[in-house]
Amino acid sequence: MTDFQSLFRTVAAPGLPGGAALALRPVPWLALAVFSAVLGACVGSFLNVCIYRIPLDQSVIRPGSHCMSCGKPIRWYHNIPVLSYFALRGKCASCGAPFSFRYAAVELLVAFLFVLVFCLCPPAGADAPLGMRWLAAPVGATGVPALRALWTVPVFWLFVCGLVVATFVDLDHMIIPDSVSLGGAAAGLVLSALVPETQLRFVFAEGPDGAASLVAAAAATWREGLALSALGAAAGSAPLWLVRVIGTWWFRRRGRIGADDHAMGLGDVKFIAALGAFLGWHGALFCIAGGAFLGVAAALPLMALGKRRLLDRIPFGPYLALAGLLWLLWGPRLAAAWTFAFAAR
């Protein structure tokens, strides 16, 4: 277990209660991780439906899953996430039409993300290592009761669901639906009030060696959670909105885009509001910088190969979403590690 533990070792937060290593109880931890994976695969199956139907303005509930070729409903035992795809060798059981591997890939991806969130999203205090920890003891700097802190897991599961839907719809259609972006922003505000532990603020804590370091602490009251969430939505969308206004003016002046075109979609501005509503202002700013960096890093090889020109339209949503995921899983740790490095100099 030790090697596995060190794989996920977090930056220790000195001076916090519960900083001492807590013995992991492997069996219930493993059971919960397996449950996370199975639930994630099932949710991923539903997200496939959302990704396909939401941009077409179709209901995600009715009709049930059916084959796009022959129209026959897919029976439940042919609709088991991941397994059915491989059992049927990626083909419709009735007519044999091939199903895209992406359906199974999204199910696997969401299963993996659900496990990652369960393992890596400690609600408060940079020292909370694995999901198991929350069941064992009060957590972190604010002493959040374990059962309350556990609510952060479904909230962040919902968050990664939004990331997945936004990513694949943006890749397919170059849009991010309002129900995902604005709906996500509203959900972020409400859930941050209901589960303030999802919102982090950074506080300075004095370590055993007397050096001050930055540690993440959870919001304690519903007001604090709501305020941090609203601040995050504003801190994310305001700069992107400004980029859109200035960029549009600049490109139009140079005749690079038409009089009705914009330098950046409004969908991205609304989407970053949703990211900020869940991740707070530091997460929102990280998403903008990280999303731009990832977008350029992905475009450079394609440009070098001559497959893309500098000013080609690219979907920004997937890169924002990936940056959001990185911040959710490692952001507070990165910030803490950075301040440790800074303090050590």
Residue ranges in contact with Zn ion by CB under 5 A: 67, 69-70, 92, 94-95, 97
**Which residue, 99 or 271, has its beta carbon nearer to Zn ion?**
99
**Residue 308: DSSP 8-state:** S
Closest distance to Zn ion from the beta carbon of 96 (Å):
7
Q: Which of 194, 187, 203, 157 is nearest to 47 (CA)?
A: 157
Q: Which of 53, 64, 66 is nearest to 95 (CA)?
A: 66
Name 262's Cβ contacts closer than 8 Å, sequence gap at least 6.
Answer: 244, 247, 248
Would you list the DSSP string of 7-46?
A: HTPPPP-TT-TT-S-----HHHHHHHHHHHHHHHHHHHHH
Closest distance to Zn ion from the beta carbon of 238 (Å):
48
**Which residue, 50 or 92, has its beta carbon nearer to Zn ion?**
92
Closest distance to Zn ion from the beta carbon of 71 (Å):
7
Give the position of tokens 């009251």: 221
Distance CA 96, CA 267 (A): 37
| 345: three-class secondary structure by DSSP | coil
**Which residue, 69 or 248, has its beta carbon nearer to Zn ion?**
69
**Which residue, 86 or 204, has its beta carbon nearer to Zn ion?**
86
**Which residue, 76 or 249, has its beta carbon nearer to Zn ion?**
76
* First and final C-alpha spacing in the chain: 34
Closest distance to Zn ion from the beta carbon of 95 (Å):
3
Distance CA 136, CA 131 (A): 10
The answer to whether 90 and 99 are in contact (CB under 8 A) is yes
Closest distance to Zn ion from the beta carbon of 87 (Å):
16
**Which residue, 67 or 336, has its beta carbon nearer to Zn ion?**
67
Closest distance to Zn ion from the beta carbon of 103 (Å):
14
Two tokens, residue 270:
């609304």
